[in-house]
Each structure stands twice: as structure tokens, then as C-alpha cells.
Amino acid sequence: MKFYKYQGTGNDFVILDNRKKDCPILSAEQIRRLCDRRFGIGSDGLMIMNEKNSYDFEMKYYNSDGKEGSMCGNGGRCMVKFAYQLGIHKDVYKFQAADGDHEAEIDTDGVISLKMKDVRGIKKFQNDSVLNTGSPHYVKIVTDVMKIDINKTGSEIRHSEEFDKEGINVNFVELSPDPSKIIVRTYERGVENETYSCGTGVTASALVCFHNEAGFNDVEVKTLGGSLTVEFDRFADGHYENIWLCGPAEKVYEGIVEV
């Protein structure tokens, strides 16, 4: 089976082109194996590109545990770059993912900008925040994010009584003197580990850390794998629209793997 490997700020994915419906149907165990960093290709997730009427493509996303996942922001940006390198050239890409329709653009400098779903509100949980940006996220503000044991603390929150059944991604955010800049580290459900970057988590963290209560916000987010920008409009009633996740996505390599 032919595969492609892409990464967006260190969040890496195996991608399969199934537009001709010639990819084998993979079991959860096979997907786990392909994503395994010792016995397979190695990635945070696996994505399949399908044909879809009235769209440029459909994006199917699977976590590295083999289960079908919800929306993946960095994955979506990688899929758009993959589509471009397959010869699908559009001013505006339109595709369908687990959380519905998305648009994306590739800027002249190579930055891929992905439009995310609107967010109608942020819930408070104890002293932290919970919201859904295509995937469910928990956002916790901390003073020194690099000193946090992300896997230990993230796992405790993710598997707590409130979130264990459905699972939740856990983001730890450090603020900076510049209110438009934050640092984010994320523990991802389905990967059950810290990833170098999480697109929907970066988006969730930026929304929580808005610097303009009403109107346009532009938040620069530093992750272990690089920097992303989240642009959005915040309204006085606490909902968010025109949310764009912007950053690089690159092909790493392609090859043939036996399954």
C-alpha cells in the first residue's frame, strides 16, 4: 500500500489517497500498527482522502489508537497541502471532515489557513475552561508550562470521572507579557500522550486567551513543534466566528508499506 507522511508543526500523519477506492479496508489494529513508532511508520494519526461530491475531498481521521477521531486541525492543514501536491489547485479548498464542512487557503508564502467551526461558548470547569473546536478541549492556564509533567497531569484530567467516558484533550497554556502571544502544550486523547502540536487545541487555547473582548483577535501560539496563528472574531455574548488556524504543513516522505 502506498502511503504519504506529512507533518504540521511536528504533529505528524500517515495519509492514504483513496479517491479511486483502491485502499484496503484497515482494521483498528492495522491502523495502530501503522502509527506505531517502533513497528510501523510512526505518526500521531492516520488520514484517508476520499472523493466527495460537491467537495474537493473528504477527510477521514483516525487516532493512533486505531479509533476514528473527531476533527484534527493540523491534520486538515496537512490534507490541504497533500491535495495541492496531488495536483488539486484551488483558490479556496472545500472539504468535509468529522465536524462538518471546512474551507482552506494556501497563501503565497506557503502558510495553510484552515477555517474552523464556530464556537458558541466556553464553559467554566472549576478554574479552567472547556470548549469544543471540532474536538473537545480542556484549557488550563499555568505559570511555567515547560515545568509541567504533561503526560501525568494531562492523563489525570483526561481520565477523571467527568471526562473518562468520552475523553478530552488537555491543554496547558502559559501567558506572556504580550497578550497576543501564548505557549501551549497538549495531551491528546487517542494518542494518550503529549504531541508536538494540536491544531484544535491551539485554537481552543487561543479562544480562551482572547485579548480583545469584542472584535478581531490575532493570537500567536508557540508549541513544541513550531508556531501557529489563530485569527478570530469574538462577540460580546461570548461566541466566536471566522476562526482561522494558520501555519505550515510539509510532506516528509512517501513509500510502500505491507499490511
The predicted pLDDT at position 131 comes to 98
Q: Domain 123-246 is of which CATH architecture?
A: Roll (3.10)
User: How does DSSP assign 112-148, residue by residue?
Assistant: EEEEPPPB---EEETTEEEEESSSEEEEEEES-GGGS
Note whether 255 and 3 are within 8 A (CB).
yes
pLDDT digits (tens, 9 = 90+) for 67-83: 999 999 999 999 999 99
The reported pLDDT for the residue numbered 164 is: 96
pLDDT for residue 126? 93
- Give me the chain's average pLDDT, please: 97
* Position 210 confidence tier, pLDDT thresholds 50, 70, 90: very high
State the catalytic residues.
72, 198
> What is the pLDDT confidence band of residue 102, given thresholds at 50, 70 and 90?
very high
DSSP state for residue 7 in the 8-state scheme:
E
Enumerate the CATH 3.10.310.10 domain ranges in the chain, comma separated: 2-106+249-256, 123-246
Predicted local distance difference test score (pLDDT) of residue 147? 98
Q: Max CA-CA distance within the chain?
A: 54
91-113 b/e with 16+ CB inside 10 Å = b? eebebbbebeebebbbeeeeebb
Q: How far apart are CA 57 and CA 34, in angstroms?
A: 23
* 117 band by pLDDT with thresholds 50, 70 and 90: very high
pLDDT of residue 38: 97
pLDDT given at position 137 = 98
> For residue 92, what pLDDT band results from cuts at 50, 70 and 90?
very high
Q: Give the C-alpha separation, 247 to 109, whole Å.
A: 10
Q: How many CB atoms lie within 10 A of CB 183?
A: 20
The pLDDT of 83-110, averaged and rounded, is: 97
Phi, psi of 34 (to 5 degrees): -60, -35
State the sign of the Cα–Cα–Cα–Cα dihedral 83, 117, 245, 195.
negative
DSSP state of 162: T
Phi then psi for 162, rounded to 5 degrees? -70, -30
State residue 149's pLDDT score: 98
What is the CATH number that goes with domain 2-106+249-256?
3.10.310.10
Is 215 in contact with 233 (CB distance < 8 Å)?
Answer: yes
